[in-house]
Amino acid sequence: MRLVVKNAKIREKEGLVDIVIDDEGKIASVGDAGLNEYPGVDVIDAGGNLVTPTFVDPHLHLDKVYTACKGRGSKYETLEESIEIMHEIKRNYTVEDVKNRAIRAIRESVKFGVTKIRANVDVDNIGGLTPLKGVLAAKEETKDICDIQIVAFPQEGIFRNPGTEKLLYEAMDMGADVIGGMPAAEWLEELSRKHVDLVFEIAKKYDVDIDMHIDQTKDPGAKSLAYSAWKSIQEGYQGRVTGGHCVSLAYQNQAYADKVMELLRLADFNVCVNPGILAIMGVDPEPRTRGITRVRELVEKGVNVATSQDTICDGFHLYGTGNPLDYGLLLAYEAQYNSTGTIEYIMDMITYNSAKVMRLKDYGIEVGAKGDLNIVRAKTVAEAFRLRAPIAYVIKEGKVLAESDYVTDWKI
Ligand SMILES: [Zn+2]
């Protein structure tokens, strides 16, 4: 035995439990608390606090993090302007600079209980493969504390940004794990479709999953989501494709949206919502809209919905911490989940649903799963989000990576 977490409150079982992690770092048993003694084994007493599987951030732009720490000027506060702001920043990237910023964000994420990240990395004719080289180096240096999947992401489009197609193949050869996409960046709807076709072609060549930014626009005419879901079924890629943002779905009429959501369900499609885009999607006349997808309806229809940080203090977004309890709470507000029942959906989104996006094996609190656990300084899920509670212990495969004596019960 490597470690025992006793007196844990878990969502998967009634009462308090002891979680025993074996020498291989896997969960050996999850039994009622108080039945056994564990002489000679490291024991952490969770004291009835909430214990969750490790948090998973399935969409984080690790190459861009902290590039706006010295400030972010923006005249119109639109998505298009944000993309322009990033051009200037990424033209000046060096591998070392990207690597160091990425490592900082990974360490911060671990502190917040995240030991699995899917990182989007720009591939285009502005930064070339410098962002990828930097994030690959960061991944290698942090491999003991965080499992990272890298998405080769054509932020500027493929046909709109000459040379990107070749660079995407090079990125996959260099070790990217997932192929990304940004069909809405193309000038014409027919080119958006060709973009999706090419992404599937690359995915099949390398046998990798797909994670595209899809329809990140309030334009109801952007319809790459339905096409991508249909394509997933045609190509036998059910369960392997994720759409980030999927904003236009919220701006399309109900009859069309119902049809698309049914197609998403049939395609076993993942939708990843990034609540921080509330600040990015551009300024509306009053009454302002939120710029996020149909979260509640997708959940009700049984589509796998995850949520993620997306951006931390970069050309897109001045804020962001990397803390899932932080952006999860933001999504609870945006989706108007305001009960002890519905806040559980958000906890699912930062754990199991995100693990499904990354297709993680052996995830969860059950015998045989990896001993990747967070002991949260809160008694309930609602309290964890309300307080954005610190993580007392971050445990990866039975080893304590981070601990905090930060308390929530201040004496005043
Ligand atoms: Zn993104």
pLDDT of 378 above 60? yes
Residue 77: per-residue pLDDT: 75
Residue 409: per-residue pLDDT: 58
CA distance 326 to 73: 24
Q: Which two tokens stand for residue 183?
A: 């069909």
Residue 70: per-residue pLDDT: 76
Strands 178-181 and 3-9: what pairing? unpaired
pLDDT of 406 above 70? no
Q: Which two tokens stand for residue 139?
A: 């991944």
- Return the higher-pLDDT residue of 410 and 3: 3
Q: Which two tokens stand for residue 144?
A: 């003991």
| Beta pairing partners, 307 | 273
Contact 136, 175 (CB under 8 A): yes
CA distance 79 to 367: 45
Question: Tens of pLDDT along 54-110?
Answer: 999 999 999 999 998 877 777 777 777 777 788 888 999 999 999 999 999 999 999
Compute CA 5 distance to the chain's CA centroid, rounded to the nearest angstrom: 27
Mean pLDDT of 311-323: 92
Residue 257: per-residue pLDDT: 98
| Long-range contacts of residues 331-335, Cβ cutoff 8 Å, at least 24 apart | 331/273, 331/275, 331/292, 331/295, 331/307, 332/385, 334/275, 334/278, 334/290, 334/292, 334/295, 335/292, 335/295, 335/296
The pocket of ion ligand 1, defined by CB under 5 A, consists of: 310
Q: What is the DSSP letter of 366?
A: S
- Band of residue 308 on the pLDDT scale cut at 50, 70, 90: very high
CA distance 238 to 232: 5
Residue 81: per-residue pLDDT: 79
Q: Which two tokens stand for residue 339?
A: 């009960």
Centre of ligand 1 from the C-alpha of residue 339, in Å: 29
Quickly name the fold that domain 55-357 has.
Answer: TIM Barrel (3.20.20)
Which residue shows structure tokens 């059910």? Answer: 238
Centre of ligand 1 from the C-alpha of residue 212, in Å: 9
Centre of ligand 1 from the C-alpha of residue 244, in Å: 7
3-class DSSP assignment, residue 36: coil
Centre of ligand 1 from the C-alpha of residue 254, in Å: 26
Mean pLDDT of 227-250: 98
* Strand intervals (E) in 238-292: 241-245, 270-273
Contact 247, 292 (CB under 8 A): yes
Which helix (H) or strand (E) is 395 found in, with range?
Answer: strand 391-396
Residue 49: per-residue pLDDT: 96
- Domain at 3-53+364-403: CATH code: 2.30.40.10
Residue 78: per-residue pLDDT: 78
CA distance 295 to 297: 6
Residue 1: per-residue pLDDT: 84
Mean pLDDT of 338-360: 98
Q: Which of 136-150, 305-319, 321-335 has the lowest mean pLDDT?
A: 305-319
Centre of ligand 1 from the C-alpha of residue 57, in Å: 12
Residue 411: per-residue pLDDT: 66
Residue 83: per-residue pLDDT: 79
Centre of ligand 1 from the C-alpha of residue 24, in Å: 35
Centre of ligand 1 from the C-alpha of residue 122, in Å: 10
Contact 7, 47 (CB under 8 A): yes
Radius of gyration in angstroms for the set of CA atoms belonging to the chain, rounded to a whole number: 21
Centre of ligand 1 from the C-alpha of residue 23, in Å: 38
Question: Tens of pLDDT along 163-220?
Answer: 999 999 999 999 999 999 999 999 999 999 999 999 999 999 999 999 999 999 999 9
Domain definitions of the chain by residue range: 3-53+364-403, 55-357
Centre of ligand 1 from the C-alpha of residue 182, in Å: 10
Contact 115, 147 (CB under 8 A): yes
Say how many C-beta atoms besides its own lie within 10 A of residue 220's C-beta.
16
Centre of ligand 1 from the C-alpha of residue 59, in Å: 6
CB-based contacts of 267, cutoff 8 Å, min separation 6: 229, 230, 232, 233, 237, 238, 241
Question: For all residues of the chain together, what is the average pLDDT?
Answer: 95
Mean pLDDT of 242-258: 98
Centre of ligand 1 from the C-alpha of residue 47, in Å: 38
- Band of residue 6 on the pLDDT scale cut at 50, 70, 90: very high
Q: What is the DSSP letter of 26?
A: B
Is the pTM higher than 0.85? The answer reads yes
Mean pLDDT of 138-144: 98
